Amino acid sequence: MFNLMKTAILMAAITALFMAIGSVLGGRLGLMLALVMALGMNFFSYWFSDKLVLKMYNAQEVDESSAPQFYGMVRELAQRARLPMPKVYLINEDAPNAFATGRNPEHAAVAATTGILRVLSERELRGVMAHELAHVRHRDILISTVSATMAGAISMLANFAMFFGGRNSEGRSTNPIVGILVMLLAPLAASLIQMAISRAREFEADRGGAEISGEPQALASALQKIERIAKGIPMEAAERHPETAQMMIVNPLSAGGLRGLFSTHPSTEERVEKLIAMAPAGR
């Protein structure tokens, strides 16, 4: 219920951003058109955003015959978590990372890059996939998927404000500086909304993933290894669609500029500390 409330708050906040940008672009008419657009985007995001995100990453669905070890690992962890079996996808990317998506546990999917399968041990990979299944169990996959889709739409609409300028309530052109400010501040506001929602849920998914896999130290080791290796391997799909970065287990974006300042992920060091504290004494 709490995550459903957070989803509703997210959709309301994004809708308000759409309306504000629409007002700048076209006055009252722009505001009303933006409201209609936001409602349509909310509907689309709820039902189809998971498919859109998987398509962005060119994720390919696998099964027991095409990826027996990986698929079997996810199935075993889903059983431990008492979850329905999600769809399983692989992404042909060297950068190690993974994410979960879908609107609920009955319509969930987990995806991992081919790079993460190569660089992690079996124990570490189990920890990562257990983390993703914890997102499914906590029912926060809808929040992350909707926020990714809507943040991208906000950025697109803000670009219109830059290139086409704005209109006041009488339909007259406004100061072009207003359009520039909207272009800069609207995506930033969307990022702040994502950040506020995303950081807390990563800690909860780490905790849940450690419980599902039974090995918090393995997940801690995986997080350290992913961050270290990912720094030297750009994740091209994430760079093209930065609004989806908050879905990943570790931030896949370069840390320069505002991307580093407004990261949607808590620091890996803090996450590792919390996981190590969960490990039984003597292990």
Average pLDDT of the chain, as a whole number: 82
Backbone phi, psi, residue 138, to 5°: -80, -5
Average pLDDT over residues 59-88: 98
Tell me which amino acid residue 11 is.
M
pLDDT at 193: 63
For the annotated catalytic residues, the residue numbers are 132
- Pick the residue with more confidence: 115 or 280? 115
Average pLDDT over residues 44-54: 85
Tell me which amino acid residue 233 is.
I
Q: Reduced to 3 states, what is the DSSP secondary structure of residue 23?
A: helix
10 Å Cβ neighbour count for 124? 24
47, two tokens: 């039902």
pLDDT digits over 246-272, tens only?
Answer: 889 998 987 554 444 446 688 999 999
Write down the domain spans for the chain: 2-278
Strand duo 87-91 + 60-62: pairing: antiparallel
Query: What distance in Å separates the CA atoms of residue 257 and residue 255, rounded to the nearest whole number?
Result: 7
Query: Which residues lie below 8 Å from residue 271, measured CB to CB, with a gap of 6+?
Result: 202, 203, 206, 220, 223
The pTM of the full predicted model, rounded to 2 decimals, is 0.80
- Give whichever of 187-196, 223-232, 242-251 has the largest mean pLDDT: 223-232
In which band, very low, low, confident or very high, does the pLDDT at 163 lie, cut at 50, 70 and 90?
A: low
